[in-house]
């Protein structure tokens, strides 16, 4: 009887060891990393609709709305063939997140890297909705780095 109990205990411990017991923050970080990967994949495939599906309906970033986001996306897709997003770290605050990345755009004639959100941050500010994380913008009507901003 003791041997059976020990075997069952070992099997139970092995089963528990294989389970994924991540906390909510760890799961959110995984989902955000997956979102950034999906965005880069959609960009590389020329799928603007796929990226726009990941933009919140209430997107606002330095005065730009989702229409401007779409225009910026089209401009970058016409200029570059590939996008590689390296997630450096993620700041979580409940249902909001800021993703710090290095975005590397490349084509046959040029390569450009942006440290986000420091450069423009147009894809860095996220909000969690019932369907998952979405690009939300910083919800500012003006750029905080605007030269017209009083100091």
pLDDT at 142: 78
Examine residue 55 and state whether it is found in any structural domain, yes or no: yes
Q: Is residue 29 part of a domain?
A: yes
Does pTM top 0.75 for this prediction? yes
Can you tell me the mean pLDDT for 22-28?
87
Q: Is residue 42 in a domain?
A: yes
Answer whether residue 60 is part of any domain.
yes
DSSP state for residue 33 in the 8-state scheme:
H
Within 8 A by CB and 6+ apart from 92, the residues are 25, 28, 29
**So what's the pLDDT on residue 111?**
97
pLDDT at 150: 39
Residue 10 within a domain: no
Asked if the structure places residue 36 within a domain, the reply is yes
What range does the domain containing 104 cover?
A: 23-135
pLDDT band at 73 (very low <50, low <70, confident <90, very high): very high
Residue range 107-134: mean pLDDT, rounded: 95
Q: What is the mean pLDDT of residues 17-42?
A: 87
In a domain, 47, yes or no: yes
* 150 part of a folded domain: no
Mean pLDDT of 50-78: 97
Using 50, 70 and 90 to split pLDDT, how confident is the model at 151? Answer: very low
Number of domains within the chain: 1
For position 73, which CATH number holds? 3.10.450.50
- What per-residue string of b and e applies to 79-103 under the rule 16 or more CB within 10 Å gives b? ebeebebebeebebeeeebbbbbeb
In angstroms, the CA 134 to CA 90 distance is 14
What average pLDDT is seen over the chain? 89
């Amino acid at each position: 009887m003791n041997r059976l109990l020990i075997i069952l205990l070992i099997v139970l411990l092995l089963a528990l060891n294989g389970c994924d017991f991540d906390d909510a923050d760890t799961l959110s970080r995984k989902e955000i990393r997956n979102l950034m990967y999906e965005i880069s994949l959609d960009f590389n495939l020329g799928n603007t609709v796929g990226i726009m599906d990941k933009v919140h309906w209430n997107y606002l970033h330095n005065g730009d709305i989702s229409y401007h986001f779409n225009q910026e996306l089209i401009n970058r897709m016409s200029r570059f063939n590939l996008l590689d997003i390296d997630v450096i770290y993620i700041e979580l605050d409940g249902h909001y997140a800021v993703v710090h990345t290095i975005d590397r755009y490349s084509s046959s004639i040029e390569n450009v890297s942006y440290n986000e959100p420091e450069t423009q941050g147009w894809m860095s500010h996220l909000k969690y909705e019932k369907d998952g994380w979405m690009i939300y913008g910083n919800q500012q009507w003006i750029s905080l780095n605007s030269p017209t901003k009083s100091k």
